[in-house]
Structures are given as C-alpha cells and as structure tokens.
Amino acid sequence: MRYRTIGNGRSSFDVSTICLGTMNFGTLTDVDTSLAILDRFVEAGGTFIDTANNYNAWVGGHGRDSEDLIGGWLADRGIRDRVRIATKVGAAKENPALPLSNTPPTNFEGLGADVVRRQALESARHLGVERLDVLYGHVDDRETPLAETVGAFGALQEEGLVGIAGISNVALWRVVEAREEAMRQGVGPYGLVQQQYSYVHPEPKLGRHNFVTPDLLDYAASTGTVGRPPLAVTAYSPLHKGALARRERPLFDVEHPTSRARLATLHDVAREVGATPNQVALAWMLGAEVPVIPVVGTSSVAQLEEVLGAVELDLDADVRARLDQEPRLQRAAA
C-alpha cells in the first residue's frame, strides 16, 4: 500500500491512497462479505474508509447501515487506531415521509449549523468513535448562509470531534469562498473535496457541479503553501460501477462518443501492460500530476484484490501520454 498526507493547515494525518467506499455494506453487500472486505483491506495496509449518515436508505436500509456495520467491526477487531474514517452529513432526508430529489425541493437535510452538529454526534455514536477523522458536507447547501455552515464545521474541528472537514458535490467557487470564510472566522477550512471522477469525462453543462474539473485540480495543486492551506481531492465512482471494464454497460452520466473512444484506449493499454482496465484507470488517477484519491466500492474480496493491484502499478510516461491524448472523432460527411 502507498500513503499520502491530507490536512487543512491545522490538522493532518496519513491515509492510504485507496479509500474503501462502503455505501452498500450491510445492505446490498451482506454483512459477512462486508466484514471480509474490511478485514482484507486493512490486512493489505488500507487505512482510509468512506461512509455516510444515509447509506443505504434507498435500497431498504434504515440510513445508517454502513456506519453501524463499520462501528461493530471497529469494536470487534479493536483497530480504531489503525484506520481513518470519513463520513458525511447533509443528504439524508429532512422529511422522512418524502422522497429525495436532485432538483428542488430536494428534501436534503442541508448544512445548517444545528443539523451539522446533531448529525455529526449521531455519526460518532453509530460508528462508536470519539472523533470523526473526516466529516464531509455531502451536498452543498446554497439555502444556508455559507458563514453558518463553515462556522459549524469549524466549531466541530476546534472541539476535536472532527479532524478535517470536507465538502462534496460542490462548485469550485463555493469551495474557494468557503475556505476564505474559514480564514476570516479563524477556523479550519475544508481540507478535502469529494467529487465524481474517472478516466472518462462528462460533457460540460451549466449547473453540473458534482464532477472533478481541471480548474479544481489546478486549485488543489496551488495549495499547501503559506496562506493557502492544503486541499486534497477524493473521487467517487472512479470505475463507473464496472462499466469501465465491461464495455456493454452504459456509462453513468458520461455517455458520449469521446468517452467511448477513451474507453477503447483504456482497454488497449490494459492489454499491453498486462493489467485490467480497472487497474489502469485507477493507476492513471493515482499517478497523475495532481493525484486524486479514488473512493472505490467493492462487493467481494476478489474485486478488492483487483483494486489493490492498482496501487503499485506505475504507468510509463509514454503510456500516460497516450491515455491523456484527447480522442479525435471522425466528422460525419456533410
């Protein structure tokens, strides 16, 4: 396993460069399999585990299934000091009787100060921990004053309940303003941003704020200097639920000809280097000029073993240049 340091200028710690996503643990992925995956991840040197306070309510769970499973596992194994746990607040249902939506009214609980504090304490209780290593705002909340949200996360960090705060599904300008607001308040700024990201890219679209962009990576690369606290990027859905390896599957929210062309290149490179397409896609992300931490969910130990095989896969410069080359698509005849 390989490791990197994350921090916010006030608090920092090392994490594995692969983060284990646990959204389906205890629901779609049964308890025994979930525990086996967690055990193998730690055995392989993995230290970074990602969950949320609403995993996985939409498939028949109660909403803290993942947190509860991880909490029981931590207590049973006695390894709290060997792992870093990230959870999220803000996207659970505000009204349990109504559905969630990605368009207003979303019914998200939001990131008001009272919600952030109450749900952080509940997550700590369900996880059985005294400190949440990372707490993300799950979805940016533009209806709550930014100063209120930033202050709420800052207070939890000052009190020691949260190590590093982060934000997810957010526009870059909101990240920048939130970090500047934290500096004005004298509290710890966001040290992590979690967005969707993979080797295939979405089409540009006004109002699309949940993807990693070149500007976000450029901004992250500029941090970690005097007056600019560090900012790391983590990425969910880096393997598109298996669609990078199985080309017959639709690509989630990135289905267009350029993505299909990039996918063909990915498979060609994988054959040539003797790895799987998933491993090459993860190695591409891990070894980039601005490295990103992939949050990878697996439903079996075998899938986890494939993911672990990407950690030590270093792509040569010429291979990386080939992967990074933008496809040239043939124009249709006039």
Distance CA 264, CA 277 (A): 10
> pLDDT, tens digit, for every residue of 58-111?
888 888 999 999 999 999 999 999 999 999 999 999 998 888 888 888 889 999
Report which of residues 299 and 257 the model is more confident about: 299
Q: How far, in Å, CA of 208 to CA of 202, rounded?
A: 9
Q: Which residue has the higher pLDDT, 158 or 254?
A: 158
The fold of 3-243+284-314 is: TIM Barrel (3.20.20)
User: What's the whole-number average pLDDT of the chain?
Assistant: 94
pLDDT at residue 305 is higher than 50: yes
CB atoms within 10 A of CB 155: 18
Q: Which residues contact 153 (CB under 8 A, 6 or more apart)?
A: 116, 135, 137, 162, 165, 187, 188, 190
- Tens of pLDDT, residues 234-287: 999 999 989 999 988 888 778 888 888 999 999 999 999 999 999 999 999 999
DSSP states of 8-43: -SS-EEEEESSEEE-TTBTTTB-HHHHHHHHHHHHH
d(CA 204, CA 215): 13
DSSP helix/strand/coil, 89? strand
Residue 204 has what pLDDT?
Answer: 77
- Looking at residue 254, its pLDDT comes to 82
Structure confidence at residue 329 (pLDDT): 60
Q: Where are the alpha helices (DSSP H) in the chain?
A: 31-43, 65-77, 113-127, 146-159, 172-185, 214-221, 257-273, 277-286, 301-308, 317-324
pLDDT for res 63: 87
What does pTM read for this prediction? 0.94
Angle between helices 317-324 and 257-273 in degrees, nearest 10: 160
Q: What is the dihedral of CA 16, 197, 124, 36, to 10 degrees?
A: -60
- Checking if the pLDDT of 332 tops 50, the result is no
Match 């017959």 to its residue by tokens: 248
Mean pLDDT for 8-34 is 97
Question: Where in the chain are the domains?
Answer: 3-243+284-314
The closest alpha carbon to 111, from 70, 64, 167, belongs to 167
Residue from 241, 284, 294 nearest 20 by CA: 294
> What is the predicted pLDDT for the residue at 310?
98
Query: Hey, what are 207's tokens?
Result: 């109002």
DSSP assignment string, 126-149: HHT-S-EEEEEESS--TTS-HHHH
For 104, other C-beta atoms within 10 Å of its C-beta total 8
